[in-house]
Copies of this chain bind each other. A is one copy, B any other.
Amino acid sequence: MRQRNPKQKLLMGPGPSNPDPRVLRALSEPTLGHLDPDFLEVMDDTAELLRYVFNTKNELTLPISGTGMSGMETAMVNSLEPGDKAIICVAGAFGERMADVAGRAGAQVVRVEAPWGEPIDPDDVKKAIRKNPDAKVLGIVHGETSTGVLQPLDEIAATVHEAGMRIIVDTVASLGGVDVPTDRLGLDVVYSGSQKCLSCPPGLAPITFGEKAVAFIENRKTTCQSWYLDLGMIRRYWGSERFYHHTAPINMIYALNEALRIVKEEGLDARFARHKAAQEALIAGLLDLGLEPVVNEPYRLPTLTTVYVPEGVSEAEVRRKLMDEFGIEIAGGLGIFKGKIWRIGLMGTNATKANVVRLLGALREVLK
């Protein structure tokens, strides 16, 4: 067995992104017991910092002990009872997954679709709600990592709330890089992952539940199908009761705590502006190389840019050369975009013009 020896690489795929060195150092701080008062303080700080990045006052705000997809599953199993109708918006791979996860949680799933590379049309949501006034929740992806679309939420959230439903929003690719207006739009359930724009290693899924979403948990008639993700119990550990549920991933929470401190030091507005500026520089450079963006303005997700692979160029070969010769990771497409697009992430600490210039220089060489 060879010595494990991971090299420093520039992670410009859809995540994980490169954690800040401060975050990696935090990971190796001494492990404490999960009920140690010093650790409980770190938990409280972390929840408070998560409220800051989620733009919310929601009490029930915490990191789930799993990766981003565990956040999606936590959202669904704590928002649905078997047989409940759920409208799920599907315009990419993560919308597809949401429909799958909601179905496994026992929901009757109604799909609202848009072509990959385009946002969901609010009028289609209105039609679906008119046809399904008995639906309990609507699920939608804010930043669709498979297409690079940033989904506008204002009109859709208003429509959902007028109908008395709850809205569940996937912000795995947006939280910390794009404004997530939880309280402004009254988003009922919002979840994310640690490894993208928060620049923490993968392994935690921040989540926040609003008042109506908490009321659902408190008044549900059936037991949550997941014990591990049952927020009815987990909230008793993160709340003042400190009721033991499972052993929290202590060191990962140190890392998230440090990553969130870095976000707060920079400030959300400055952070969003940095992501936006980095993407603008990237798009300008990609156009200059003759590459065509997949997504039209104003729907480009600042944290993840998608471009078509030019005719006659091997998608995988370009990625292999970027990695082997330049130590830079970008990603190919998923689903219908497999082999047809590249996905370039500018997430968290990585969203800088210096990284953009480094990638463009390498890409220019490789495409020669």
Chain A interface residues toward B at CB < 8 A: 1-2, 4-9, 11, 13, 15-16, 18-19, 24-34, 36, 38-39, 41-42, 45, 48-49, 65-70, 72-73, 97, 100-101, 103-105, 193, 195, 201-203, 223-229, 244-252, 254-255, 257-258, 261, 323, 329, 334
Q: Are B6 and A225 in contact (CB under 8 A)?
A: no
Residues of B within 8 A of A19 (CB): 31
Least distance between A169 CB and chain B CB atoms (Å): 18
Counting every copy of the chain, the complex holds 2
Q: Give complex CA distance A34, B69 in Å.
A: 14
| Nearest CB in chain B to that of A222: its residue | B104
Interface centre among A45, A68, A101, A201 (most CB of B within 10 A): A201
In the complex with contacts A39-B6, A224-B104, A250-B201, A27-B30 CB distance below 8 A: no
Residues of B within 8 A of A100 (CB): 227
Q: Are B67 and A67 in contact (CB under 8 A)?
A: no
Q: Are A29 and B4 in contact (CB under 8 A)?
A: yes
Q: Are A70 and B228 in contact (CB under 8 A)?
A: yes
Q: Are A4 and B201 in contact (CB under 8 A)?
A: no
Residues of B within 8 A of A229 (CB): 228
Q: Are A38 and B224 in contact (CB under 8 A)?
A: no
Q: Are B201 and A104 in contact (CB under 8 A)?
A: no
Q: Are A66 and B69 in contact (CB under 8 A)?
A: no
Q: Are B246 and A67 in contact (CB under 8 A)?
A: yes
Residues of B within 8 A of A42 (CB): 4, 6
Residues of B within 8 A of A5 (CB): 38
Q: Are A97 and B227 in contact (CB under 8 A)?
A: yes
Least distance between A162 CB and chain B CB atoms (Å): 30
Q: Are A24 and B34 in contact (CB under 8 A)?
A: no
Q: Are B16 and A250 in contact (CB under 8 A)?
A: yes
Q: Give complex CA distance A97, B245 in Å.
A: 10
In the complex with contacts A4-B26, A25-B28, A249-B201, A226-B45 CB distance below 8 A: no
Q: Give complex CA distance A34, B67 in Å.
A: 12
Q: Are B66 and A66 in contact (CB under 8 A)?
A: yes
Q: Are B33 and A11 in contact (CB under 8 A)?
A: yes
